[in-house]
Amino acid sequence: MVYNANGDYMTKPHQIGLKVLKRINDASYEAFFVGGFVRDFILKIESTDIDIATNARPEAIQSLFDKVIPTGLKYGTVTVIEEGYTFEVTTYRTEDNYQDNRHPDTVKYSTYLKDDLSRRDFTINQLVMDKNGQIFDHHHGLDDLNNQRIRTIGDPKARFEEDSLRLLRAFRFSAKLGFQIEEKTIEAIIQVGALIRNVSIERIQNELSMLFEMPHKKKAIQAMIDTDFHRALFDLNAGFNKLYETTALFDELLAWTVLFLESGYDAKLWKLPNKTIHSIKTITKLHLQSKDSPFDVFQLFNFGLSMVTYANQLNQIYGLEDQTALIKSLHQSMPIHHVCDLAFKGEHIIKQFKITNKRHIGALIDYLIEAVLLKQVDNDYESLKKYAQEVLQRLESGL
């Protein structure tokens, strides 16, 4: 089936990608845009992630372009860098023997596009487009796009057993597009959903993080619960139930916070970035502190507006009062928001006073911050200098 896609716009990556296609075609090879970019182009969703399928071997592609990175030679993939944009170019191939439910043991090059498309995951991801904008559909992907349906190519159970990350990708595409997962595909997920545990935790985390940022994530989470797939995700089912039940908004960071607040964080299993883990701990701490008392200026100063706002959103997920107005009022009324905002700071303390105990410097700064936040002392140089001198005398006298 051939469909002429007349898009209303053409992004810069698309324009440069056409030049890449043309150069490969001019060397007497086939080359097509393939997969997610073509799907999104038809749906008029802007996409900069462009993959190209070709019958040219990797060494031929390397000879055609000045900047080529051999990112996946084992699987026939190289990355072409053209005018600052990257394009993954993969030789048509067939795959066999997926012993680890993720990677093929056998990869063979093919001269036929249809062989390459048959190994892919979902019908909506096997659409290809040539340099003239013609769409070629070998597995009724256009029908599935029109019917807003996610369906595997061929036998769904076999597709999931080949690469079990596809189980989670089905839900992620549902979250992105708002599409329903087709009945036979759902039945296969129910049958072999536990295979997701064979996939590396980093890939699972990445798919979930993307899912949590998608516009239709609640629909996808409902499908995960309906199929019991959420139980296969290392017993995070209580957290997924909480995310589905809430009417409050949440993003990736809040979603992870809820999951681990409900189930605990297994540091031996999960490999989230340290920055993310720190944020989750901070949000949880603020959430627990504010369950029975309102937020205050010291929490805003010590943890920042962003973390306090996240904690307030987490409170709402758990049915607690929305303190947005209070947070905004407190933040606007604060004389300082960071230690560097002090008119009389550490460098001035060292310069102006002879301090025998260096620990008193940190204590002095804490006293200055507290006095300014409570509006007991104005945030000006002379007022703070005078107050610091009084406090220092008490500290050094042991009072």
**pLDDT tens-digit map of 290-299:** 999 999 999 9
CATH second-level architecture of 1-141?
2-Layer Sandwich (3.30)
Asked whether the domain spanning 247-334 has the same topology as the one spanning 148-233, the reply is no
pLDDT of 34 reads 96
**Angstrom distance (rounded) from CA 150 to CA 124:** 7
**The pair of three-digit structure tokens given for residue 126, joined into one six-digit string:** 């096997």
Q: Which residue has the higher pLDDT, 157 or 1?
A: 157
For residue 135, report the phi and psi dihedrals to the nearest 5 degrees: -100, 130
Q: Rg of the Cα trace of the chain?
A: 28
**Angstrom distance (rounded) from CA 174 to CA 74:** 31
pLDDT digits (tens, 9 = 90+) for 319-358: 999 999 999 999 999 999 999 999 998 889 989 988 888 8
CA dihedral 244, 35, 166, 265 (to 10 degrees): -50
Most confident of 8-17, 181-190, 230-239, 261-270: 181-190
pTM of the complete model: 0.88
What three-state secondary structure class fits 3? strand
Task: Break the chain into its structural domains and give their ranges.
Answer: 1-141, 148-233, 247-334, 339-396
How many CB atoms neighbour CB 73 within 10 A? 12
pLDDT of 2 reads 45
What whole-number percentage of the chain has pLDDT above 90? 82
Q: Which fold has domain 247-334?
A: Methane Monooxygenase Hydroxylase; Chain G, domain 1 (1.20.58)
Which CATH code for domain 148-233?
1.10.110.30
